[in-house]
Amino acid sequence: MFELLSLAVTVGAGIFGYVTTKDFTKRKLRFVDAVHSRPAPVIAGVVVAAVASPFAALPIIGITAALALGAGVGLGLRSAQKERHLLE
């Protein structure tokens, strides 16, 4: 049962990171050129995973949740970049 809850937290963190980053990038960072550079998704994902990694000490949240959150942020930013380029 504990593993299932941990899996749900991990998947939820990835989805939360993706959805919120994509929405924030499309609405608020639309005109910021640095966000639309090629290395921006990798940098954002690594920074978020590094910031979230201390929470891996909590019982339900593991290091995989921190990595899923970082991956979600990176993929959400990349998706927002692609949508911007399609609109131009």
**What would the pLDDT profile of 18-68 be if each residue is shown by its tens digit?**
999 999 999 998 888 888 899 999 999 999 999 999 988 888 888 999 999
Task: Write down the pLDDT at residue 87.
Answer: 63
In this model, does residue 5 exceed pLDDT 70?
yes
User: For the chain, give me the number of helices (H) and strands (E)?
Assistant: 3, 0
Domain range spanning residue 36?
2-87
Burial (Cβ within 10 Å: 0-12, 13-18, ≥19) of residue 70: buried
In this model, does residue 88 exceed pLDDT 70?
no
Task: Write down the pLDDT at residue 78.
Answer: 95
Distant-in-sequence, close-in-space partners of 80: CB < 8 Å, separation ≥ 6: 21, 22, 25, 26
Overall domain count for the chain: 1
